[in-house]
Amino acid sequence: MKKLLFLLLPLLLSATTVETLVDKALSQHISLEVIQERLNAEQYQISASRNFYNPEISFAINDIQFDDITDRSRERMQTTSVNIKQKIPSFGKRDAATHKSEAIKQQLMASLDEAKVALAKEIKVTAYSIWNLAQELNITQEYIEITRQNIELNTAYSATRNDSHMGIMSAELTLSQLKLKKIKFESLQKGMYAKLAYLVGEKVQDLELSLVMQKPQPYTFYQSQLSNNRTYITKKQEMKVATKEVKVQELSGDVDPYVQVGYFYRQEYKDYLNVSFGMALPIYGSERDNTESARKVVLSKSAAQQDYLFALEGQLGGLYAQLEDSYAVYEVLHSESMPQIEHMFELTNASVKNGQDLFVYIDLLKQKLALDEQLIAATTKFYITQASLDALIGVSQ
């Protein structure tokens, strides 16, 4: 039981908690910076949406005589002019464009929150996997030492007992298998630390983790918070953007009048000013078609939003079943199997020290190792599933 408690305590030489790693990643990860820059860019789009159309300026020289192109005094029609044309957006168009840009900004902010939750989940899962490998290494190393000691002890008895050689050979084979497992776990652990370094944005040496099992929250706790799912919120914002686009397209059918002012210079006659008004005629129905298309997009976004909420219910049911399963397995192992195997192990260990029952001891050692591994796996799965459930309801810490 002492060793079991040790497996659930923090690593004594650790220096960094999962919470610290998540905070660092959320403040510096390059993938989040990409979305943040898009947010900054959208702020300029909001400012641009308040502007008028750019004015147009044109220059003209009228009635050029081919026989003398420099003579500008022959006729009244000979003018040199400058014209400025300004289109004026109809009422509500600039507001509609601004509201759409603001909705896009809110969508990007929701995407940023979504990315933060996904990143935090990945860091937690990776950290828990590292903890799992660390515990596997600990018990494997412990069993290596126990097996080696018993081989040495029984080798000392082998000179007087002929039936101990097969037991020693079996123990040596078990020792080799344990060494191979240790090599595999060390390799996997290095890979996990490399992955964690990428997720956090800096090298991580050690982790401080205390994975103590606790009774799961009730199903209704998660169910009541499904609407906080970050992907679901992003989809809601996407629908808002689509709704604002409908308004933009509706107003596109309203004509934008323009004013054009021209100053005409004449060399031998009085200068004069010309003012004209005009507008485009939306007679071909493109604006109506674009509006209907935008409305269909809204319906599509709304259906996708509802469908995703139903999918979340299914994901919650599956994850919660895994959480309960992990907890139930842990309880059986911790309360029933481990105390029994510990007692059997102590009894057999006493016999081995007297040079007896090495075969039985090795078989029991394998069973105890398997139970330890199952206990570690159940704890790890519980916390990984917990991380997935937290992400499902929009929790990043």
Place of tokens 């704890």: 379
Cα→Cα distances 125→11, 65, 195, 209, 373, Å: 17, 83, 11, 12, 18
Give the C-alpha separation, 281 to 255, whole Å: 7
Q: Enumerate the domain spans of the chain.
A: 2-392
Decide if 352 contacts 150 (C-beta within 8 A).
yes
Place of tokens 């595999």: 184
Give the C-alpha separation, 350 to 364, whole Å: 13
Token digits for 164?
């101990």
The residue type found at 49 is S
**Helix pair 93-157, 18-28: axis angle to 10 deg:** 140
Q: Please, how many CA atoms are within 13 Å of residue 171, restricted to the half-sphere of its CB?
A: 27
Token digits for 382?
């519980």
**Helix pair 338-353, 358-392: axis angle to 10 deg:** 150
Beta partners for 272? 264
Strands (E) in the chain, as ranges, are 56-61, 80-87, 258-265, 272-278
> Closest by alpha carbon to 111, among 228, 230, 31, 200?
230
Cβ neighbours of residue 229 under 8 Å, at least 6 residues apart?
312, 392, 393, 394
Cβ neighbours of residue 108 under 8 Å, at least 6 residues apart?
35, 38, 39, 42
> Closest by alpha carbon to 333, among 363, 385, 374, 386?
374
Place of tokens 């009085």: 270
With 0-12 / 13-18 / 19 or more C-beta atoms within 10 angstroms meaning exposed / middle / buried, residue 60 is exposed
Decide if 213 contacts 34 (C-beta within 8 A).
no
Give the C-alpha separation, 317 to 224, whole Å: 13
Strands laid side by side in the 272-278 sheet: 56-61, 80-87, 258-265, 272-278
Q: What stretches of 224-285 show up as alpha helix (H) in DSSP? A: 230-251
Q: Which CATH superfamily is domain 2-392 in?
A: Outer membrane efflux proteins (OEP) (1.20.1600.10)
Neighbours of 336 (CB within 10 A): 10
Cα→Cα distances 338→71, 72, 140, 332, Å: 111, 109, 17, 9
Give the pLDDT confidence score for residue 334 in this predicted structure: 78
Place of tokens 């029609």: 77
**Helix pair 30-48, 18-28: axis angle to 10 deg:** 40
Give the C-alpha separation, 50 to 63, whole Å: 41
The residue type found at 312 is L
| Tens-binned pLDDT, residue by residue, of the chain (397 aa) | 344 344 444 433 345 888 888 888 888 888 888 888 989 999 899 998 888 889 999 999 988 888 888 887 788 888 999 999 999 988 889 999 999 999 999 999 999 999 999 999 999 999 999 999 999 999 888 888 877 877 776 666 555 555 556 667 777 787 888 889 889 999 999 999 999 989 988 888 888 888 888 899 999 999 999 999 999 999 999 999 999 999 999 998 888 899 999 999 998 889 999 999 999 888 888 889 999 999 999 999 999 999 999 999 999 999 999 999 999 988 888 777 666 666 566 666 655 555 455 566 667 777 778 888 888 999 999 999 999 999 999 988 7
